[in-house]
């Protein structure tokens, strides 16, 4: 009976599968909000349930879903670059850079150490370290709601995102070709030269072309919308031309148009389209790739690796936060808040990990294996829950501390002045 049911749902018409996908996109994120989980976690779980390892409604590599997923992955990284607040970064540039170095290097070293401890070569260990070095500001909307975005510790943490994301992606850019074709001093030098040319061309050249185009053709919402997409795709294609991953180009494209198009109506429309269709498709299709039995066995059989990576990341992020807190003379609560805000590993980490997992050398060996990619999913779930919970807790504590230190106005004196 069960076998007959499972066989029948694996041959659903394409339109029915599409309707089911839309229902997932509609209801799963709302359900996650109710139980306090990020929508990415719910979409991953939905991908596992409806994917080939469970109900098998979706095949392992559906072409349409794969295309949507690729666009979603690029948009995810594009908005990561676009959402970085350049003004805030300039205001606390030196402290942001210093904290960025702390919160980049310590997790990087922790990841390298764990990778080497469990038998991975130096290149794979370096890549594992780079996956831990970035962070996603998942708790920032909580601080916006609490009115703490002007706090200097929060501003410094937000500004540090530029350094951690760029540094992590640059290490990815170096590791991928080295693993694919092997290390060559000449090829490495060429790669650095190509990077030195490509990064300024994207950051400054594409933004200049965009401004020129809008002056000539008009800055209507339609022109801006298609221009944003075109810039992202050109940057992604340019990255692939010099043997980099497309997600690196998409992130740099977001930085390139950060000032000119960040608050435009076209950006809001593209963000709406991305968040309701393409980015959910990215997380859903990652769930399709997860085999539940293999995933559970990986955690059980590689529990030390999971504990080492998750524990190393949490310890390194809070150690970096407390070092910055002591150096900048922030309060203890602000130190905890910096650690909580820089803890989640979601968008950039998962996208980069998937790219590294899919990269093989001439012998067919992956840069990172299945235990690592499954551990990264565990890391995403743990930190995406723990980060916002701790951010809210220490944000509320900081609000109480600020209220306690705010002088109470002399109401009696004001009334006397008013009566006189």
Residue 2 has what pLDDT? 43
User: Would residue 57 count as lying in a domain?
Assistant: no
Q: Is the distance from CB of 343 to CB of 164 less than 8 angstroms?
A: no
Q: Name the DSSP letter for residue 151.
A: S
For 137, 172, 361, the CA distances from 353, given in Å and listed in that order, are: 18, 9, 16
- The SS3 of residue 366 is strand
**Could you tell me which residues come within 8 angstroms of residue 234 by beta carbon, excluding any fewer than 6 positions away?**
206, 253
Backbone angles phi, psi at 360, to 5 degrees: -120, 155
d(CA 373, CA 362): 21
Q: Name the DSSP letter for residue 84.
A: S
Q: Is the distance from CB of 256 to CB of 206 less than 8 angstroms?
A: yes
**Could you tell me which residues come within 8 angstroms of residue 179 by beta carbon, excluding any fewer than 6 positions away?**
123, 359, 361, 367
User: Would residue 328 count as lying in a domain?
Assistant: yes
User: Would residue 234 count as lying in a domain?
Assistant: yes
User: Would residue 377 count as lying in a domain?
Assistant: yes
For 74, 149, 196, the CA distances from 355, given in Å and listed in that order, are: 12, 33, 22
pLDDT tens, residue order, the chain (420 aa): 445 544 555 567 778 888 888 888 888 888 887 887 767 778 878 888 888 777 777 766 677 777 888 888 788 778 767 766 677 667 778 898 899 999 999 999 999 999 999 989 898 899 899 889 888 776 776 777 778 877 888 888 877 877 887 788 788 878 888 877 776 677 677 777 887 888 888 888 887 887 787 777 767 778 788 888 888 888 888 887 876 667 778 878 888 887 777 667 877 888 888 888 888 888 788 778 777 777 788 778 888 999 999 999 999 999 999 999 999 999 999 999 999 988 988 766 777 888 888 888 878 888 888 888 888 888 887 887 788 788 888 988 988 888 877 665 554 554 455 555
d(CA 186, CA 398): 53
169 token code pair: 């992606």
**Could you tell me which residues come within 8 angstroms of residue 132 by beta carbon, excluding any fewer than 6 positions away?**
107, 108, 110, 111, 309, 312, 313, 316, 345, 349, 379
Q: Is the distance from CB of 233 to CB of 77 less than 8 angstroms?
A: no
d(CA 136, CA 346): 6
82 token code pair: 């676009």
Q: Is the distance from CB of 248 to CB of 173 less than 8 angstroms?
A: yes
d(CA 257, CA 261): 6
d(CA 260, CA 159): 19
User: Would residue 49 count as lying in a domain?
Assistant: no
d(CA 213, CA 198): 21
**CATH code assigned at 274:** 1.20.1530.20
d(CA 255, CA 251): 7
57 token code pair: 């409604």
Count of structural domains within the chain? 1
In tens, the pLDDT along 331-348 reads 999 999 999 988 988 766
Q: Write out the DSSP string of 242-275.
A: TT--HHHHHHHHHHHTHHHHTT-HHHHHHHHHII
User: Would residue 16 count as lying in a domain?
Assistant: no
- Report how far Cα 371 is from the mean position of its chain's Cα atoms: 20
Cβ burial, residue 105 (10 Å; 0-12/13-18/19+): middle
Backbone angles phi, psi at 264, to 5 degrees: -80, 160
Nearest alpha-carbon partner for 346 in 271, 410, 283, 276: 283
Longest dimension (CA), the chain: 90
User: Would residue 27 count as lying in a domain?
Assistant: no
Between CA 120 and CA 125, with CA 122 as vertex, the angle to 5 degrees is 60
> Which domain, by its residues, includes 368?
65-419
Nearest alpha-carbon partner for 80 in 135, 41, 34: 135
In tens, the pLDDT along 78-127 reads 876 776 667 766 777 889 889 999 999 999 999 999 999 998 989 889 98
User: Would residue 32 count as lying in a domain?
Assistant: no
């Amino acid at each position: 009976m069960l076998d007959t049911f499972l066989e029948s749902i694996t041959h659903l018409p394409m339109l029915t599968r599409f309707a089911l996908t839309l229902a997932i996109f509609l209801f799963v994120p709302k359900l996650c909000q109710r139980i306090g989980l990020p929508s990415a976690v719910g979409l991953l779980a939905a991908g596992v349930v409806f994917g080939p390892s469970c109900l098998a409604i979706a095949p392992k590599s559906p072409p349409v879903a794969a295309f949507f997923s690729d666009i979603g992955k690029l948009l995810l990284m594009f908005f990561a670059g676009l959402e970085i607040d350049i003004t805030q970064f300039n205001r606390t540039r030196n402290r942001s850079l210093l904290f960025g170095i702390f919160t980049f290097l310590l997790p990087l070293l922790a990841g390298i150490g764990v990778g080497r401890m469990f038998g991975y070569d130096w290149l794979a260990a370096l890549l594992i370290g780079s996956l831990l070095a970035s962070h996603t500001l998942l708790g920032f909307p909580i601080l916006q709601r609490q009115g703490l975005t002007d706090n200097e510790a929060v501003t410094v943490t937000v500004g540090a995102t530029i350094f951690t994301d760029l540094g992590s992606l640059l290490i990815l850019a170096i590791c991928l070709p080295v693993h694919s074709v092997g290390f060559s001093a000449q090829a490495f030098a060429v790669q650095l030269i190509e990077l030195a040319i490509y990064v300024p061309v994207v950051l400054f050249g594409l933004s200049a072309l965009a401004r020129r185009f809008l002056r000539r053709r008009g800055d209507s919402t339609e022109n801006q919308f298609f221009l944003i997409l075109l810039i992202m795709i050109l940057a992604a294609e340019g990255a692939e031309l010099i043997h980099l991953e497309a997600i690196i180009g998409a992130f740099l494209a977001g930085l390139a148009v950060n000032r000119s198009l960040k608050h435009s109506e076209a950006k809001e429309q593209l963000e709406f389209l991305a968040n309701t269709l393409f980015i959910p498709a990215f997380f859903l299709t990652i769930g399709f790739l997860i085999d539940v039995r293999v995933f559970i066995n990986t955690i059980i059989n590689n529990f030390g690796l999971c504990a080492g990576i998750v524990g190393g990341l949490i310890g390194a992020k809070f150690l970096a936060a407390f070092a910055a807190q002591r150096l900048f003379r922030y309060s203890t609560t602000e130190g905890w808040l910096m650690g909580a805000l820089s803890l989640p590993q979601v968008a950039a980490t998962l996208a980069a990990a998937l790219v590294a997992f899919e990269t093989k050398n001439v012998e067919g060996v992956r840069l990172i294996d299945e235990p690592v990619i499954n551990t990264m999913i565990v890391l995403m779930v743990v930190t995406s829950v723990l980060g916002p919970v701790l951010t809210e807790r220490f944000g509320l504590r900081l609000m109480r501390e600020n209220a306690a230190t705010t002088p109470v106005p002399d109401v009696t004196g004001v009334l006397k002045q008013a009566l006189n």
